[in-house]
């Protein structure tokens, strides 16, 4: 679990290319379903490249239960989260309601895979072509960019009593441990999932993909729900995958 970590400033969210005012029709969100495994998968044509929208807060953001300001409020977010990283959301779909554009987004809150509607104006939109797929049974993490498999890595996952949660999530923050040699290794990629059996942990028990100081445990079921990687491997994944990219975890 990510507790006392330092924000990795400037990584992952500096690719904001779209407007912060929210004008325009936006890009339909691709499905973050698992990709075929194996390096022999054909390269997609440019028109078929999987691409996802990410909404980055540029001010306070309100998530509603429906695309209307009269709907119930699901959650309020500041421009940055509790760790000082920009609040970001993976877009599920886009809807035009009257003159306003609304984004149905996954939210980094309990319960896992929660979503809500945020209105244009408080977010800037950028896109990512990267996706992580984690297979818990095989203890493997795979990275795809533009639909092409970039690499597959051996990982450690949660113990049976505290399993790594399955579902569709996204990288919502990148954090560097304050000191080297600790249990989080060199880097933690926070994801929008929580360990449902540890609600009283700091920050609600968030799950992360992170490095380790116990390389011998990689490949086992040893964590409280986080996904552990060799330090060199998590750095490679970080270079390929910007914040906001989908993370699909399957059994």
* Structural domains present in the chain: 13-30+49-128 (2.30.30), 130-250 (2.40.440.10)
The pLDDT-based confidence of 12 (bands split at 50, 70, 90) is: very low
Residues 197-247 have pLDDT tens digits of: 887 877 879 999 999 999 999 999 999 999 999 999 999 999 999 999 999
The pLDDT-based confidence of 64 (bands split at 50, 70, 90) is: very high
Q: Give catalytic residue positions.
A: 210, 226
Q: What number is the average pLDDT over the span 169-194?
A: 95
Q: What pLDDT does 44 receive?
A: 66
pTM of the model: 0.85
Contact 79, 58 (CB under 8 A): yes
Residues 144-156 have pLDDT tens digits of: 999 999 999 999 9
Q: Output the six-digit token pair for 226.
A: 């986080």
Between the alpha carbon of residue 124 and those of residues 28, 116, 183, 194, 245, the distances in Å are 15, 17, 34, 26, 15
């Amino acid at each position: 679990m990510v507790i006392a970590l330092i924000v990795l400033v400037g990584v992952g969210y500096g690719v904001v290319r779209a407007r912060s005012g929210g004008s325009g029709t936006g890009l339909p969100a691709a499905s973050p379903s698992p990709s075929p495994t194996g390096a022999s998968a054909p390269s997609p044509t440019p028109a078929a490249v999987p691409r996802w929208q990410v909404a980055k807060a540029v001010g306070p953001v309100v998530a509603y239960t429906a695309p209307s300001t009269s709907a119930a409020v699901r959650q309020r977010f500041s421009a940055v989260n509790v760790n000082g990283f920009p609040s970001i959301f993976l877009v599920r779909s886009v809807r035009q309601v009257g003159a306003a554009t609304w984004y149905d987004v996954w939210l980094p809150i309990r319960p896992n895979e929660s979503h809500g509607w945020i209105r244009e104006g408080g977010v800037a939109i950028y896109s990512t072509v990267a996706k992580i797929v984690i297979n818990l049974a095989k203890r493997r993490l795979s990275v795809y960019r533009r639909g092409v498999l970039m690499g597959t890595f051996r990982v450690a996952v949660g113990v049976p009593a505290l399993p790594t949660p399955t579902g569709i999530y996204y990288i919502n923050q990148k954090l560097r441990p304050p000191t080297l040699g600790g249990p989080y290794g060199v880097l933690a990629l926070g994801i929008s999932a929580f360990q449902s059996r540890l609600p009283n942990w700091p920050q609600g028990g968030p799950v992360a993909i992170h490095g380790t100081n116990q390389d011998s445990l990689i490949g086992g079921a040893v964590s409280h729900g986080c996904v552990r990687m060799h330090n060199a491997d998590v750095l490679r994944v970080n270079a390929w995958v910007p914040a906001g990219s989908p993370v699909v975890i399957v059994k």
